[in-house]
Chains A and B, each alone.
Chain A
Amino acid sequence: MAKTRENFFGIRHLTVKYHSGNSIIHAVNDVSLELKAGETLGLVGETGAGKTTIAKSILRILPESSVESVEGDIWFEGRQILDMNDKELQALRGKSISMIFQDPMTALNPVKTVVSQIAEGYRQHQNCSKAEANKRAIEMLEMVGIGADRAEEYPHQFSGGMKQRVVIALALACSPQLLLADEPTTALDVTIQAQVLDLIRDLRNKLGTAMILITHDLGVVAEVCDKVAVIYAGRIIEQGTLQDIYDHPTHPYTCGLFGALPDLDKDVERLSPIEGLPPDPSVIREHCDFMERCPYACGKCKKFNNHMIEMTPGHMVRCWKANEEE
């Protein structure tokens, strides 16, 4: 049921299925999230967990030909995104909500100079002259560390990280209210990354820009996020404030993620990956999705009906062990 919600932005019971050959892919299963203006949420999880699908659902840019169904409720400033018509969506995208794509070339046109692409994007939503748009574009490029003398070059003349920076400039040019950033800094070195994260923090402080940051870099999440949601096989398996997740990681999968990181302060011979692979997305399970890989799996897990357990207010965990440890 479409119902207007109070908060700035939220998702309720989002379920997205794709069809692939003869099977149905359960990409996103009953995901609910909420964001206040200015808040940053880190969305963390393995490849195929459903992160990009969630972001694309918000902008309504899922590939129509392979989508089986999208159910649930997504609202932005009191309006239902899933009910919007094309015109409303057009106004929403790029201006109120913009997305930084995982692969920079999805957002860039190979035959246009980088400066003209940003200027055009800006002019689409802002009533201004060409010269003004150009000025803004160069300003944005400089903000991400690309000098004006490179502005007239084409994407193929840029390194991977430079292309990513152009995409970031493009997404930030219109000062969106909600930014969906899909692995935005993975291709960047840590100094430029810090600069970009500062820029995003600035937007948040000045304009109240909220952000969903999709990443597998737990360090980046720690730097900028207020809240964290860990997603596994299309379901949120742990959710809470930054402190909840980093000080009291509880779900065995979350703990595994922290354990797999190489540690700068320690020297180890071998790293400790989470053994095994994510489960088949074409199968819906009654029991815990992580059971096949979980080092703590036992008879009790088969009886666990896979619901979220609230450990402390707002800190939710989808594992029966969460109760035991209280």
Chain B
Amino acid sequence: MAALVETQNLKKYFKSGAGMVHAVDDITFKIEEGETVGLVGESGCGKSTLGRTLIHLNESTDGKILFRGQDVTKLNKKEMVKFRKDVQMIFQDPYSSLDPRQTVSDIIMEPLKLDGSFSQEEIKNRTRELMDTVGIEKRLRMSYPHELDGGRRQRVGIARALALNPKFIVCDEPVSALDVSIQAQILNLLMDLQRDLGLTYLFITHDMSVVKHISNQICVMYLGQMVEVCDRKELFAYPLHPYTKALLSAIPTTDIHNRRERIILKGEIKSPINPGPGCRFASRCPYADEGCRQGVKSQEVRPGHVVVCNKAKEINQL
């Protein structure tokens, strides 16, 4: 399988009063066609920024983004138009991302209208088809977003994202705001769509059971950088990075009699403003030493399992 999306040393910095926020800092990774890559990490570590930069909603600061092997920053106008159709985003809060004054069918048909290459008839048919695909009842065609429940609103967001037959969708916490039962409906829908339409997803979430359920590969991010990448089952069975271990240990469980042993992270969180060299987790890592503050290297310690930690082997007795 070929990589559909790939980054090389991708960087995205923001200006802040105190210096530059290194939101995405030197990220190299890829997403295979037809797969779902789950992205997890501390809030503020740069997940949304990475997602937005990947599909060029943010201008990148440095590095490369390849889509089907083509450098996205070097696309000509026509290629850019095509790229914009191929990549889409679904947001956490479908309410604030949908125009409150537009009806459901207006919202879904807007990208088709803006595209300019469809007849009235085609737009109508396609809109009907999309509503069907995502499971919105026809009678809701003329409803406004505020009249819908969260699950249906998210379905509208998904229908709109699907309008122009995208190949790649960044799903930024698409089910976080939904109740568990509706969350299950939307996750089932996203997985069905992937199977039927051959979609590729970058799936950002804080819910570890959701990410395990939906992903093929999982990437763990910490302060602008990837710290661990591997298959979903591998990650839960053999978490190697000290941050990943803490993350997995903190998952709240509904089993009130067998609580997990928590790893409580102490120490100051390093600022993403001009963070400097060395491992960014060092200030909170129980294994940190002087070497970690000097620099950190990435290594494949088990087949297909990459971890960015100098002591991964030692800590995990590999």
Q: Which residues of A line the B interface, CB within 8 A?
A: 45-48, 103, 145, 147, 149-150, 152-153, 157-162, 164-165, 186-195, 198, 216-220, 222-223, 242-243, 246-247, 256-258, 260-264, 268, 270-274, 277-278
Assess A189 versus B150: contact at CB under 8 Å? Given A219-B254, A271-B187, A273-B184.
no
* Residue pair B212, A264 in contact (C-beta under 8 Å): yes
* Residue pair A159, B48 in contact (C-beta under 8 Å): yes
Find chain B residues with CB under 8 A from A271 CB.
184, 187-188, 213
Q: Which of B26-34, B35-43, B162-170 contacts its partner?
A: B35-43
Q: Taking CB as reference atom, which chain A residue is nearest B152?
A: A277
Q: Taking CB as reference atom, which chain B residue is nearest A293?
A: B181
Assess A273 versus B185: contact at CB under 8 Å? Given A152-B18, A157-B16, A223-B252.
yes
* 0 or 1 for each of B76-116: is its CB under 8 Å from A? (1 = yes): 00000000000000001100000000000000000000000
CA distance A172 to B93 in the complex (A): 25
Find chain B residues with CB under 8 A from A277 CB.
149
Residue B268 is within 8 A (CB to CB) of chain A in the complex:
yes
* Residue pair A147, B250 in contact (C-beta under 8 Å): no
* Residue pair B246, A186 in contact (C-beta under 8 Å): no
Query: Smallest CB–CB gap between A139 and chain B, Å?
Result: 13
CA distance A47 to B181 in the complex (A): 10
* Residue pair B43, A160 in contact (C-beta under 8 Å): yes
Residue B269 is within 8 A (CB to CB) of chain A in the complex:
yes
Q: Which of B55-63, B118-126, B171-179, B293-301 contacts its partner?
A: B171-179
Q: Taking CB as reference atom, which chain B residue is nearest A157?
A: B16
**In the complex, given contacts A187-B173, A219-B253, what are 15 additional A-B residue pairs having Cβ atoms less than 8 angstroms apart?**
A46-B179, A47-B149, A150-B18, A152-B17, A152-B18, A160-B48, A161-B44, A188-B43, A190-B206, A192-B43, A216-B178, A246-B256, A247-B256, A262-B209, A271-B184
* Residue pair B149, A48 in contact (C-beta under 8 Å): yes
CA distance A323 to B62 in the complex (A): 66
**Which of B16, B179, B253 gathers most chain A CB within 10 Å?**
B179
List B236-251 residues whose CB lies under 8 Å from chain A: 236, 246-247, 250-251
**Which of B43, B183, B184, B262 gathers most chain A CB within 10 Å?**
B43
CA distance A94 to B158 in the complex (A): 39
Can you list 13 A-B pairs with a CB-CB distance of less than 8 A?
A: A147-B268, A159-B44, A165-B43, A187-B176, A189-B41, A191-B250, A192-B43, A193-B250, A198-B264, A216-B178, A216-B180, A262-B210, A264-B208
CA distance A158 to B21 in the complex (A): 11
CA distance A264 to B250 in the complex (A): 13
Residue B314 is within 8 A (CB to CB) of chain A in the complex:
no
Query: Smallest CB–CB gap between A194 and chain B, Å?
Result: 4
* Residue pair B188, A222 in contact (C-beta under 8 Å): no
**Which of B40, B181, B246, B252 gathers most chain A CB within 10 Å?**
B181
Assess A147 versus B269: contact at CB under 8 Å? Given A273-B184, A277-B149.
yes
Choose one: A164, A190, A273; the contact of B247 (CB below 8 Å).
Answer: A190
CA distance A186 to B92 in the complex (A): 11
Find chain A residues with CB under 8 A from B176 CB.
186-187
* Residue pair B179, A159 in contact (C-beta under 8 Å): no
* Residue pair A246, B208 in contact (C-beta under 8 Å): no
Choose one: A103, A222, A270; the contact of B253 (CB below 8 Å).
Answer: A222
* Residue pair A162, B251 in contact (C-beta under 8 Å): no
* 0 or 1 for each of B44-73: is its CB under 8 Å from A? (1 = yes): 100011000000000000000000000000
Find chain A residues with CB under 8 A from B191 CB.
270
Assess A262 versus B43: contact at CB under 8 Å? Given A48-B149, A216-B179, A271-B184.
no
CA distance A30 to B191 in the complex (A): 40
* Residue pair A257, B181 in contact (C-beta under 8 Å): yes
List B178-206 residues whose CB lies under 8 Å from chain A: 178-185, 187-188, 191, 206
CA distance A256 to B183 in the complex (A): 13
* Residue pair B254, A162 in contact (C-beta under 8 Å): no
Residue B14 is within 8 A (CB to CB) of chain A in the complex:
yes
**Which of B246, B253, B254, B273 gathers most chain A CB within 10 Å?**
B254
CA distance A145 to B178 in the complex (A): 26
* Residue pair A272, B149 in contact (C-beta under 8 Å): no
Query: Smallest CB–CB gap between A140 and chain B, Å?
Result: 15
Choose one: B178, B181, B251; the contact of A264 (CB below 8 Å).
Answer: B251
* Residue pair B187, A263 in contact (C-beta under 8 Å): no
* Residue pair A160, B181 in contact (C-beta under 8 Å): no
**Which of A103, A242, A261, A277 gathers most chain B CB within 10 Å?**
A261
Query: Smallest CB–CB gap between A261 and chain B, Å?
Result: 6
* Residue pair B179, A47 in contact (C-beta under 8 Å): yes
Find chain A residues with CB under 8 A from B40 CB.
189
* Residue pair A219, B212 in contact (C-beta under 8 Å): no
Find chain A residues with CB under 8 A from B209 CB.
261-264
Find chain B residues with CB under 8 A from A263 CB.
209
Assess A222 versus B181: contact at CB under 8 Å? Given A157-B16, A277-B149.
no
CA distance A186 to B247 in the complex (A): 15
- 10 shortest interchain CB distances as A-B pairs: A161-B43, A219-B252, A271-B184, A273-B184, A274-B181, A190-B250, A194-B250, A262-B209, A262-B213, A216-B179
Choose one: A48, A157, A270; the contact of B188 (CB below 8 Å).
Answer: A270
